[in-house]
Structure formats: structure tokens, C-alpha cells
Amino acid sequence: MKSLLYKELKLSSLAVTYFFIAFGLMTFLPGYPILLGSFFVCMGIFYSFQFSRESNDPLFTVLLPVAKTDAVRAKFLFVLVVQGLSFLLMTICTLVRMILLSRTAVYEQNPLSNANLFYLGFCLVMFGLFNLIFVRGYYKTAYKIGVPFIVYCAAAMLLVGVDEALVHIPGFEAFSVTDFSFMDAQIVGLLAGFTIFAAMTAAAYALSVKSFEKLDF
């Protein structure tokens, strides 16, 4: 298992995937739908899946003396490593904004969503959607990635739209705070995002294993 994970991190991935983790810094951008940063991180992961397909990595992997289940698990761990590192960066940026920059004019007057715990919850949902729609879709064939990615893009843009719409709906002021106001609600939002992410990822993994086991190379 350790060797398979090493293969995913070093051989089956592109350097650009790790560079895309830096899109977590978009958390600092005012007047911009910052949730797109998590979408771009997933796009970076997509490029590694594309590289894996072009290099016939699925076929190479099943020829190794390893279980297909372990191959899927290693790929999911690779995805989770990238998502985890980017989420850590987004969390640090969010806390800097909330603690040190919450009274900055560009953030207080920001007409779009702000960086707070709700934002982090939405980032987790964005990652969960990628895992459930794209990664799970990839393992239906281990080669056809266009349709799953297009479907994911549509779902991601819908999520961004919902995130940005909420800050303009009366009664949802908590979604646009720049500090630790409405802390109880913010914590609930973050936990809800984590729960959705965990459920989506667990379902994606189970379905991916089931599909990959049925594939005949």
C-alpha cells in the first residue's frame, strides 16, 4: 500500500497538481468568488488523472501483484492529500482574514462571499462533489474522463452560485461575516460541510472499488 501511494504521489501525478494547491491563496481576494479556489485545486487533480490515463497507468497498475481495491485506495489517498493540503492553506488564510484583517475596508465592503467558517464548509463540499462525481466517474471505465469532469464543473458552478446568492438573501447575514460573529452558526456550517464531504467521499470510494473490480483489462 505504501508503494502504491508513493507511485501516485511521485509517478502518476503531475507537478502542476501540487502547484494548484496555491490557489488556496485566492481566499485573500476581495470582490471575487473565492470558492473558485477550491474548484481550481480540483482542476489540478484532474490534470494528474488525465496524465494517468494518457500513460496507461490503470493497465500498468492492474498488472502489478496488488489488489484492485488497494489501487483505488491509493488513488483516493492521493486526492485526499492534495485536498487536505489545500484545505489547510485555505484554513490558515481564512483565520488570518478573520483575526487580523476582518476590519479592513476591502473585506467589510466586499459584495461577495467572505472568508469564514461557512466558506471552509463550502470548500469541503466542493471537494466532496469532485470525489463523488469525477473520481467515481473515472473508475467506471478508468479511461473516459471528459463527461465526469464536465458534470463536475456544472455542479461546481452551481455550488458557487448558491454560495454567492446566500450572502444577498435576508436572514442569511451570517454567511457574509468577516469575523467570529454568529460563531455557533459558523461552526455548524463547517461541521455540515465536513459531514457532507466525508459522506460523498466514502460513497465515491465504495462505488469506485465496485466499478473497478468489474473492469476487464
How high is the pLDDT of residue 3? 79
Cell 504521489 identifies what position?
Answer: 9
Query: In the predicted model, what is the mean pLDDT of residues 62-75?
Result: 88
Strands (E), the chain: none
Residues 163 and 121: beta-carbon distance below 8 Å:
no
Does pLDDT of 157 surpass 70? yes
Of 32, 37, 22, 42, the residue nearest 200 (C-alpha): 42
Q: In this predicted structure, what is the pLDDT of residue 153?
A: 98
Predicted confidence band at 11 (pLDDT cuts at 50, 70, 90)?
Answer: confident
- Cell 488556496, residue located: 24
Q: What is the mean pLDDT of the chain?
A: 93
- Which range marks the domain in which residue 67 is found? 2-214
Number of other CB atoms surrounding residue 30 within 10 Å = 18
Domain count, the chain: 1
pTM of the entire predicted model: 0.95
The band of 2, judged by pLDDT with boundaries at 50, 70 and 90, is confident
* Count of residues making up the chain: 217
Backbone φ and ψ for 35, nearest 5 degrees, come out as: -60, -20
Rounded to 5°, the CA angle 159-12-209 comes to 65
- Name residues whose C-beta falls within 8 Å of residue 62's C-beta, 6 or more positions apart in sequence: 68, 71, 217
* 31 Rama sector, left if φ>0, alpha if ψ -120 to 50, beta otherwise: left
What was the pLDDT predicted at 217? 65
Q: What is the pLDDT of residue 61?
A: 80
